[in-house]
A and B are shown apart, each in its own frame.
Chain A
């Protein structure tokens, strides 16, 4: 005798009806949701429209760069000196990149400031780094800021670490450039806890460099730090938000260079 014959016909039909109905409901809901969801795969490349906005340089050339401009690959890193991920990214990935691919003329690395309002001292750190960049000591100061991030993030005493990273002669120049830089940053990058009354006009000579970078970052758009934009032979390849390990970035750069 068949299995069908062992079951009550009514029960079998009821079981099938319930099964088909439940499947149909789940499937219809799933497919409905799929089409209702904003399925705009094409929108994933919206950031690519920012390419032309990044290329022109209406303000002076960035002074926070490593390597040769003629390198086939250009990487622009948007970072915040007080962001822990940026510190890790610098120490574990960017430092290796600078020592290896930048030194070999394969990569041109551009630092872009993107101080986040949530970090109390990041804007001031960016000012110190920009002032150092104007006297050709950006690499030393950037390294010092990231290496001692945990220390100056507590009290905002950035000058101490800048002084330790450069000669007294360079420090004198940097401090001169920092004249007027005790004023609060512009409203667009206002640190947490600062009132509008505390805002002032830009009196600091290096604020223009930071504002330029922030404006470029907003066009990318940068929503977190670090975020880096990769160009190959002048063509924008990718915008990567987040921290990437050196091994993985190295493989990617090798594949680009092999093309």
Chain B
């Protein structure tokens, strides 16, 4: 029979495993999304600065179709978002300051999801632009992005819990040091 301490330890290990899994999955989604937006969009085309420019210009068509931003805003979002997703994906993958990276991911996915829901309700039959060109906005893409948002929120919650546990255990181990420091 396991003691309460052992049981607690097992649950912590399971929680950490799920957190790592969720973090890697989320990172993979952002990295894949950035890759799909930046990669050469024509069959047989090679990677080059010109191909990346064309890919970003093509992505700007998808952003513009949402009819939310003025042209300068569309260009700004289309040029920066894929690079931002790339950076965020790498940050999530590293696991450094996970609380902050996961909050950022949740805010980004929440923003995407609300814009998509708004456009769907308005009856805009447009491309989602979530993973590059194509990918029509509809129930399938809404379910997919809603699920990603839920995953991101779960990772965020997990990151805060893990941080609190670390803080608790580091403070908990303090008495072993205190007698020495008292000496």
Contacts and interface: CB of A to CB of B under 8 A. Distances in A.
A231 to B, nearest CB: 11
A255 B53 contact: yes
Interface residues of B, number: 64
A37 B140 contact: yes
Given A26-B153, A27-B151, A3 B171 contact: yes
B2 to A, nearest CB: 12
Contact of A30 (B22, B67, B125, B136): B22
Contacts of B147: 30, 33-34, 37
B87 interface: no
A44 B133 contact: yes
Contacts of B171: 2-4
B151 A13 contact: no
A130 to B, nearest CB: 25
B12 interface: yes
Contacts of B71: 245, 247-248
B154 A27 contact: yes
B125 A248 contact: no
Contacts of A248: 60-61, 64, 71, 74-75
B154 A30 contact: yes
Contact of A240 (B22, B127, B131): B127
A198 interface: no
Interface string A33-54: 1100111010011111000000
B82 interface: no
A256 B154 contact: no
A27 B64 contact: no
12 contacts: A5-B175, A22-B157, A27-B22, A27-B154, A31-B151, A34-B25, A238-B61, A239-B134, A244-B64, A249-B61, A255-B50, A258-B50
